[in-house]
Amino acid sequence: MLNDTLASGLSIVQQNDRQGKRACRVQPASKTIKCVLDVLNKEGYVGQAEEAAAARGGQLKVHLLGTINKIGVIKPRFAVKISDFEKFEKRYLPAHGMGVLIVSTSQGIMTHVAAKEKKIGGRLLAYCY
């Protein structure tokens, strides 16, 4: 039994990306994983994530682009204000302007850059660079 489906899903994506594969299957699928992969798709880290054959728990087929250096979840899911994004950027990202933090906000899941523009805080979910 999996305790954190987001962590295991992002781990599968990173492992397959490092192996040079063009696609992978993430199982079980959830709305949160799908939204995080959609954000990563918009940022250019992964390709499209589409629902695969209906298996128990669901599956997502993720097309890989080979552009991920590191991806992971942030545990515990820190609550962050607009003024605190800088602190977490320094902690999880290698350099200013390189990579993204993925944040769950009241307006949906988005990058920390979009959350700064909308002037809203939220909870940190993951990072990618």
At 42-92, the pLDDT tens digits run: 999 999 999 987 767 889 999 999 999 999 999 999 999 999 999 999 999
**SS3 of residue 91 by DSSP:** helix
| Residue 58: domain span | 5-64
Indicate whether 41 and 9 sit together in one domain. Answer: yes
pTM score > 0.85 for this model? yes
- pLDDT bin (cut points 50, 70, 90) of residue 97 is confident
At 21-35, the pLDDT tens digits run: 999 999 989 999 999
At which of 18, 38, 64 does a domain end?
A: 64
- pLDDT bin (cut points 50, 70, 90) of residue 16 is very high
**CATH of residue 15:** 3.30.1370.30
> According to the model, what pLDDT value does residue 2 have?
73
Contact 52, 60 (CB under 8 A): yes
Where does residue 28 rank: exposed (0-12), middle (13-18), buried (19+ CB within 10 A)?
middle
When divided into structural domains, the chain yields a total of 2
